[in-house]
Structures are given as structure tokens and as C-alpha cells.
Amino acid sequence: MCAARRFEVVCSPDMPEEMKLDALHSALEAIDSYTTAEDMTEHVKMFFDDVWTPSWCCIVGRRFHCSIPLDDYCFISVKLNDLTFLLFKSVR
């Protein structure tokens, strides 16, 4: 039996719905396929670089803080249970 997953999504208001769903699905795939945050990060970043053109940055962890210049529609934070995936495209 599958454990219930709580999730929460925060993103840029102009982000396309398909991009939001891709972020959630790739984060779920990463959690199901890998045991380390490093591997999960690489999975989500590679997926977004392939589907939504490079260069995406991804941070995965239980607790972190950041201050990053971002494109208008290219920011999403997906929290699944106690793990957060921060995915963004930097303006540089």
C-alpha cells in the first residue's frame, strides 16, 4: 500500500500549468527513484533542461534559505512531505 503524500506548490503567477505539473511529476519520480538529494536534484534539473530548455537550477532539501534573481515565470517550489524541491531559471 502506498503512503499518502502531502504536497504544496508555490510558483510564479505566470508559470504555465504544464510546467507546474512537470515540476510536481519530476519531483515525485525523483523521490521514487533515488535515495540521495544529489541524485534527486540531478534528475529534476536534467528533466527541465530537456523539456523546458536550459539552464535550470534545482535545490533539494529539508531546510534551506536562498536569495536568487529570477525570471518572471521560471520559479517553483514543490514541497512533498518534508522534502522541498526549489526549481528556477536564473536571469544570468
Domains of the chain, earliest start first: 12-90 (3.30.740.10)
> pLDDT tier at 12 (50, 70, 90 boundaries)?
confident
> pLDDT tier at 1 (50, 70, 90 boundaries)?
very low
Kindly tell me the sign of the dihedral angle through the C-alpha atoms of 67, 68, 70, 75: negative
pLDDT attached to residue 35: 96
The model carries a pTM of: 0.85
Nine cell digits for residue 33? 527513484
- CA separation for the pair 15, 17 (Å, rounded): 6
